[in-house]
Amino acid sequence: MNLETVWRVEDGRRLASTVWRAGRGHRMISSAMLGGGIGPARWVLNAQVPGAYARTDPVAHLAELAAAGGLEGPGVGMLTAASVARTVRRDGEGVRVSATVGLRVPTWAASPAGAPDPELAPLDGDATPAWKPGTINIVVAVPVQLSDAALVNAVVTATEAKTQALLEAGFPCTGTASDAICVAAAAGGTPEVFAGPRSTWGARIARTVHAAVRAGALDYASRLEARG
């Protein structure tokens, strides 16, 4: 996974994005707004936005950024308010992972119905509610083909490993409300049919995602501590 870091100026801010030009020969599963679902994809874009991001057309925004970067054909696009320049990369046993970890609003997946949503709380004293994304975006690449079921299983495994890493890093949460994930697998060869945490490739995915997210969460915690 050869990630490029590219920069742009938007609304007066200098913002980073990572681009993986995977090329042909990959099938991906993703929860991303642009290119989500299961199918062939040639690239993955992870673009940083301001913390008070207020555009109501994020898919169109991602398409604009992809076009500006010369990305053609099917691909996956994600947004995050986390520092993309601090993307964590980990390789392990053939699995490659990149993760941007932002934990501005740590969240439990299950919360009481009707509970206030901290993501919509006013930002910086503004009386107008604004979306406060504290996003963890994860990209996983494996060099083998995964069946559709195994792709779904890989997403579950990676998510479980993410949550384990967050808890170990001292964040009492399962993630954030705006996390996204993409798992890319080779398009050729005999497909693997399992990707649970005790399967060969699932275990490798779990260990590598855990390492990347834990490192990103600890880095985020150290920056919070430094700010006092």
Answer yes or no: is pLDDT of 145 > 60.
Answer: yes
Q: What percent of the chain has pLDDT over 70?
A: 92
Q: What is the pLDDT of residues 10-37, one digit of tens each?
A: 988 999 999 999 999 999 999 999 999 9
**Which region among 82-96, 124-138, 176-190 has the lowest average model confidence (pLDDT)?**
124-138
* pTM metric for this prediction: 0.93
Please state the φ and ψ torsions of residue 130, each to the nearest 5 degrees: -135, 145
Q: For residues 135 and 77, what is the distance between their CA atoms, to the nearest angstrom?
A: 14
The overall average pLDDT reported for the chain is 92
The predicted structure's pLDDT at residue 132: 46
* Six token digits for residue 20: 């993986």
Mean pLDDT of 131-144: 84
* Six token digits for residue 194: 């399992």
Give the structural domain span for 40.
3-108+133-226
Residue 119's pLDDT band (boundaries 50, 70, 90)?
low
The predicted structure's pLDDT at residue 131: 42
115 inside domain: no
65 inside domain: yes
Is residue 176 classed as helix, strand or coil in its secondary structure? coil
* Six token digits for residue 134: 């504290």
Q: What is the CATH number of the domain that holds 173?
A: 3.60.70
**Overall domain count for the chain:** 1
On whether the CB atoms of residues 180 and 31 are closer than 8 A, the answer is: yes
Q: What is the DSSP letter of 85?
A: G
Mean pLDDT of 160-184: 96
Answer yes or no: is pLDDT of 60 > 90.
Answer: yes
128 inside domain: no
Place of tokens 């005790």: 198
Answer yes or no: is pLDDT of 127 > 70.
Answer: no
84 inside domain: yes
49: left (phi over 0), alpha (psi -120 to 50) or beta: beta
Answer yes or no: is pLDDT of 124 > 80.
Answer: no
Measured between alpha carbons, how far apart are the two ends of the chain, in Å? 36
Residue 228's pLDDT band (boundaries 50, 70, 90)?
low
Mean pLDDT of 182-194: 96
114 inside domain: no
121 inside domain: no
96 inside domain: yes
Q: What is the DSSP letter of 82?
A: S
The predicted structure's pLDDT at residue 105: 86
Q: For residues 114 and 69, what is the distance between their CA atoms, to the nearest angstrom?
A: 41
120 inside domain: no
